[in-house]
Amino acid sequence: MTLELLEGSEAIAASAIAAGCRFFAGYPMSPFTGLLENMSRQLPLAGGVCLNAESEIEGVNMTLGAAAAGARAATGSCGQGIALMQEAIAEAALNETPFVVFNMARNQQDYFQATRGGGWGDYRTITLAPKDVPEAVEHVQLAFHLADKHRAPVIFYGDPLLAQTRIGVSVRPLDFGPLPPKDWALDGTGGGTGGSRQVWTWAMGKATDPGPGPDRHWRAIAEKFAAIDAIESRSEQAHVEDAETLVVAFGSAAKFVEYVVEELRADGHRIGWFRPVTLWPFPGEALAAATADVRRVLVFELNAGQMLDDVRIHAADRSAVRFIGGVSIAESGLAYGELMDAPVIRDRIRTALSEGGRS
């Protein structure tokens, strides 16, 4: 396995193309811009199309169109740009158009946006939050797979460290198993046959072949997301067996936490870590089990406490949950602030350890 020294954005683009992505549209916004530039360089070489869209709204709707026509397609942005896309992401969830949204976020303040969404209707978005570039390469392809498997938009939650770190990685197509055929996709051949296809949030069908209509369709969508919730949550954990304290973190922050926890264990502390790999579905059952015997559950994230809500919902005892994260942004506003740093995280954990937990 030969490693190539690739910048995160470059590796993510290469992995998307290896997954068969053939349409990409986006609007520049740092640190997403690197992915857009890499796609515009790499995608045409693979026979695909990358458009510098005139706005995030256009970008996501172009992507929705390409995906409705059956292509593997993706768009991306961060923060405000993803906010502009919410209407279309919700629409795609409800009209069952699969594509991937790369949120190359500036920080971890988009957790609510990703897991609750700002669109309308009873929908959720599967959200993958890799901890480093090698895992990001895998998650890119998993995102396309899950999108097609469930006919739903999937969010890839990246950050400046994933976008800009250069690391030796190997990008090749990964096989996640068989997928249902895209016989629903619009290819134009249905016209005049009496069986023309439609992609429609209201799902009313054709006059000659009525569909379920919004009531039944939206109930079915809600049931679909409940089923996804039951089967697609992913998590990682370590040292839960003997841990008195469990630190919960996601994405890059989880990699930092893992590093610090290993150091603290070397110093003799009984501490472990837990990482939601999917932010939605949140691995609630796994977290409940992991927190059953601990005295403290520390939540570290670089925002004012967003995942904290999910940890409180699922922890075995919510009174054991303490927040040790916070808002922390670089002066530029484009990257993490000083909280994303092992020594600082170690201090915060040590302070929490010195305070009591539940007995």
Residues in contact with another protein by CB under 8 A are: 2-5, 22-23, 25, 49, 51, 53-55, 57-59, 61-71, 73, 87-88, 91, 95, 132, 134, 161, 164-168, 186-194, 196-202, 204-208, 252, 255-256, 259, 340-343
Strands 126-128 and 154-158: parallel
CA–CA dist 13, 53 (Å, integer): 17
Q: What are the DSSP calls for 239-282, one per residue?
A: STTT-SEEEE--HHHHHHHHHHHHHHHHTT--EEEEEESEEES-
Distance of closest approach, residue 293 Cβ to another protein, in angstroms: 28
CA–CA dist 17, 243 (Å, integer): 41
Residue placing its CB nearer to another protein in the complex, 132 or 317? 132
Distance of closest approach, residue 19 Cβ to another protein, in angstroms: 15
**Distant-in-sequence, close-in-space partners of 196: CB < 8 Å, separation ≥ 6:** 190, 206
Distance of closest approach, residue 305 Cβ to another protein, in angstroms: 22
CA–CA dist 320, 358 (Å, integer): 6
CA–CA dist 108, 341 (Å, integer): 14
Our measurement of the distance from residue 121's CA atom to the centroid of its chain's CA atoms, rounded to an integer in Å, reads: 20
- What the block records as the tokens of 343 is 């020594």
Contact 225, 232 (CB under 8 A): no
* CB-CB neighbours of 343 under 10 Å: 9
Classify residue 355 as exposed, middle or buried by CB count within 10 Å of its CB (0-12, 13-18, 19+). Answer: exposed
Residue owning tokens 């992401």: 89
Distance of closest approach, residue 113 Cβ to another protein, in angstroms: 19
Strands 235-238 and 209-210: unpaired
Contact 112, 307 (CB under 8 A): no
Residue placing its CB nearer to another protein in the complex, 189 or 351? 189
Residue placing its CB nearer to another protein in the complex, 59 or 283? 59
* Cα three-residue angle 74-78-84, rounded to 5 degrees: 80
Backbone angles phi, psi at 34, to 5 degrees: -60, -40
If we measure between CA atoms, which residue out of 311, 324, 16 comes closest to residue 141?
Answer: 16
| CA dihedral sign, ordered 193, 199, 200, 204 | positive
* Cα three-residue angle 139-28-326, rounded to 5 degrees: 65
Distance of closest approach, residue 3 Cβ to another protein, in angstroms: 6
Distance of closest approach, residue 320 Cβ to another protein, in angstroms: 27
